Structures are given as C-alpha cells and as structure tokens.
C-alpha cells in the first residue's frame, strides 16, 4: 500500500498556518480540529515548517506561558521531513520510527498535498494484514 492510497481514502485536508500565527492560536487550531500537528506553509503552499503539540509542551516547559504569545516560527521545526505519494507504508513507518515523528507531510511537485499520521499508517498496515489473512483463508478453504 502507498501513501496515495491512504490520502485517497482519508482525504487530503491539512490544517495549515502561516509562520506569524501565535503559539496560542496554534494550540486552539490543534484543539478545535482534534489534530496533533499544523503544517506551516508559505503563500504558494510550500512547506516551511511543522508545529506539533509536543513542540508547544516543550516550549511551555522551557519558557513558561509567555511563549504562547510568540509566533509559531519561534518554536516550529523548519527542517521538515516529508514524503511523496509514491512512498510505501513500510517506508513511511521506517521514517516515522527513525525520526520519532508522528506526522509526515506529503508533497507533490514541491507543494503540500496531504499529511500522514502514525494512526493512518497503523490502520493501513492492519488492513493490509487482514486482507492477506482473508486471502490465505480463502485459498485454503477454496
């Protein structure tokens, strides 16, 4: 299974923001959308950063509540690891494991086209295993 299949099934909507929004606004976006990451994009939908709930917690632990009124550009990750739609689930699982990342933005032709979470990858992997088990069962009984 490939990233494109996951995006085709789950959708390609990604909550994004500009680097100027505050950490507080980002926290509200995360809560309101029930998500764990916001992708920071420029005016051309090119990925310039990512901010996760973990980043906000770390910033508060380090700087206190004052960090909530700073722009997210002050705490976001600028070196964003990403994948393309042709990446396999196994490749994305390896990337997430190695990087200890729970969210990987997906880009096509340099532009953001979706995001894959660890939950998406696990669901896809489980579906693949279930499909294989059903095929083996059908082969044995047929």
Gap between the Cα atoms of 77 and 27, Å rounded: 16
* Rounded CA separation 12/120 (Å): 12
Q: DSSP class of residue 83? A: B
pLDDT of residue 137: 85
Q: Residue 73 to residues 7, 48, 51: CA-CA distances in angstroms?
A: 27, 9, 9
One digit per residue, the tens of pLDDT, for the chain of length 142 reads 899 999 999 999 888 988 889 999 999 999 999 999 999 998 887 899 999 999 999 999 999 999 999 999 999 988 899 999 999 989 999 999 999 999 999 999 888 999 999 999 989 888 888 888 888 888 888 7
Which pLDDT value is given to residue 62? 94
Fold of 3-141: CBS-domain (3.10.580)
Contact between 86 and 3 (Cβ < 8 Å): yes
Query: Using CA atoms, how far apart are residues 55 and 6, in angstroms rounded to an integer?
Result: 26
Name residue 39's beta-bridge partners. Answer: 16, 50
- Look at strands 111-117 and 103-108 and give their pairing: antiparallel
pTM of the model: 0.82
User: DSSP code of 66?
Assistant: G
């Amino acid at each position: 299974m490939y990233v494109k299949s996951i995006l085709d099934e789950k959708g390609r909507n990604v909550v994004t923001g500009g680097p100027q929004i505050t950490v507080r606004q980002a926290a509200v976006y995360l809560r309101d959308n029930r998500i764990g990451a916001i992708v920071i994009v420029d005016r051309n939908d090119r990925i310039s950063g990512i901010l996760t709930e973990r980043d906000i917690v770390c910033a508060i632990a380090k700087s206190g509540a004052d960090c909530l009124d700073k722009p997210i550009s002050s705490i976001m990750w600028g070196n964003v690891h990403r994948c393309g739609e042709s990446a396999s689930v196994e490749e994305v699982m390896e990337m997430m494991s190695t990087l200890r990342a729970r969210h990987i933005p997906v880009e096509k032709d340099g532009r953001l086209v979706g995001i894959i979470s660890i939950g998406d990858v696990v669901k896809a992997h489980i579906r693949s295993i279930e499909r294989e088990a059903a095929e083996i069962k059908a082969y044995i009984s047929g």
